[in-house]
Amino acid sequence: MRIEYNFAFFDEGSKREIRRATLKAIAIPGYQVPFASREMPIARGWGTGGLQLTLSLVGKPDILKVIDQGSDESVNAVNIKKLIAITTGVTVSDETAEATIIQSRHRIPEVPLQEGQILVLQVPLPEPLRYYEPSEYETKKLHAEQEYSGAWLMLFEQIMNYGTMSTGADHPVMVHGRYVMAPSPIPRFDNPKLNYSQALILLGAGREKKVYAVPPFTRVASLDFEDYPFGVESFQDKCCRLCGAQGVFMDEILDDVTGEPFYQCNDSSYCLQNLNGKSRG
């Protein structure tokens, strides 16, 4: 049986509701706008927020790229790409530079984003204050009152316990000097890319029913202290064993036989692009 789905899977009413929420999210950078997250043919927590945003945005001329932890070919990315491509017929691409919509889980691509592109980030936990405040109503009040001492205290406790801020990913950021925002679990390495980004960045949390946004050229500062400044993961003296790239976010992999660590670009399409460039000479 072949089912004729609507263009971009959704009915128009669903798109309208997400579009209204998205426009409000852009008007209040970093503020989490609630929306009626739909049931999707993938499980909640597997990128449904990002998927719903993408489906509300996508049109026939778009070129779509979907990545999962830097990879264009992981199961999550491939399935989301298939669903969107089958229900819209849009072109899919691995190349960051030619994509108009980039949906991503846990990474911002290495190739700098440009005007005209939209980055859609999948967010599992949109509430940066949830770690210490379980009540949604209370966190809404804390945001309303700009009462973020808990977020600072969380970082302070990490420094007390470990001598450094130990956030591996999802390091909280202050957007436009007003809202503390969870940047989705991107590594700290990617946090600076949010600041004054050329592209519009939309973040969607399907399970938690929230969308929020960072418009282009918006101040996004990672939370830190004067004496403990924010720092990104360092890959100094490391280079990708495949393409030789330096200064990019890398995966550390242990050799099965020798147990020696080696490094490889996390952004697989960036790595491939480098390798192709080299082979062409």
Partner 1 sequence: MKLDLVHDIQAAYRLTLDSMSRPGLISNISNQADKLNMEISCFGSTLVLVLMLFDTEVKFKVCSECEAETAKLINQLTYAKETEIESADYILVLKDAKPEDLEEVFRKAYPGDLLDPHKAATIIIETDYVSNDQNLTLTGPGIEKESYIDVKTNDHWVKLRAEKNTEYPLGIDLIFTDWYDNILCLPRTTQIAKRVIK
The verdict on 6 binding partner 1 (CB under 8 A) reads yes
Residue 78, φ and ψ in degrees, nearest 5: -65, -45
Decide if 101 contacts 57 (C-beta within 8 A).
Answer: yes
Binding range to partner 1, per CB under 8 A, among 15-23, 38-46, 147-155, 235-243: 15-23
Residue in 13, 45, 243, 277 annotated catalytic: 243
The verdict on 34 binding partner 1 (CB under 8 A) reads yes
The residue assigned the tokens 């980039």 is: 102
- Smallest gap from Cβ 215 to partner 1, in A, equals 4
Which is nearer to partner 1, 199 or 245 (by Cβ)?
A: 199
Q: Is 259 a catalytic residue?
A: no
Residues 6+ apart with CB under 8 A from 179: 28, 29, 30, 31, 143
| Cβ neighbourhood burial of 91 (10 Å; 0-12, 13-18, 19+) | middle
- Smallest gap from Cβ 61 to partner 1, in A, equals 9
The verdict on 156 binding partner 1 (CB under 8 A) reads no
Residue in 50, 240, 244, 259 annotated catalytic: 240
* Integer Cα distance of 118 and 116 in angstroms: 7
Out of 26, 78, 239, 272, point to the residue binding partner 1 (CB under 8 A).
26
Structure tokens belonging to residue 135: 């009540």
- Angle at which helices 75-88 and 48-57 pack, to 10 degrees? 30
The verdict on 57 binding partner 1 (CB under 8 A) reads yes
Please state the length of the chain: 281
Residue in 50, 247, 271, 277 annotated catalytic: 271
The verdict on 59 binding partner 1 (CB under 8 A) reads yes
Which is nearer to partner 1, 26 or 85 (by Cβ)?
A: 26
Q: Is 239 a catalytic residue?
A: no
Decide if 242 contacts 269 (C-beta within 8 A).
Answer: no
The verdict on 29 binding partner 1 (CB under 8 A) reads yes
Decide if 167 contacts 186 (C-beta within 8 A).
Answer: no
- Smallest gap from Cβ 135 to partner 1, in A, equals 13
* Integer Cα distance of 5 and 164 in angstroms: 51
- Smallest gap from Cβ 224 to partner 1, in A, equals 21
The verdict on 89 binding partner 1 (CB under 8 A) reads no
The contact pattern for partner 1, residues 35-54, with x = CB under 8 A and - = no contact, is --------------------
Out of 24, 38, 207, 238, point to the residue binding partner 1 (CB under 8 A).
24
Site for partner 1 in 185-224 (CB under 8 A): 200, 213, 215-219
Residue type, 120: V
Decide if 116 contacts 88 (C-beta within 8 A).
Answer: no
The verdict on 19 binding partner 1 (CB under 8 A) reads yes
| Residue 226, SS3 per DSSP | coil
Residue 260 C-beta-side C-alpha neighbours within 13 Å? 4
* Integer Cα distance of 219 and 31 in angstroms: 14
Q: Which residues are catalytic?
A: 30, 240, 243, 265, 271
Q: Which residues bind partner 1 (CB under 8 A)?
A: 6-8, 12-13, 15-17, 19-29, 31, 33-34, 56-60, 140-141, 144-145, 176, 178-179, 200, 213, 215-219
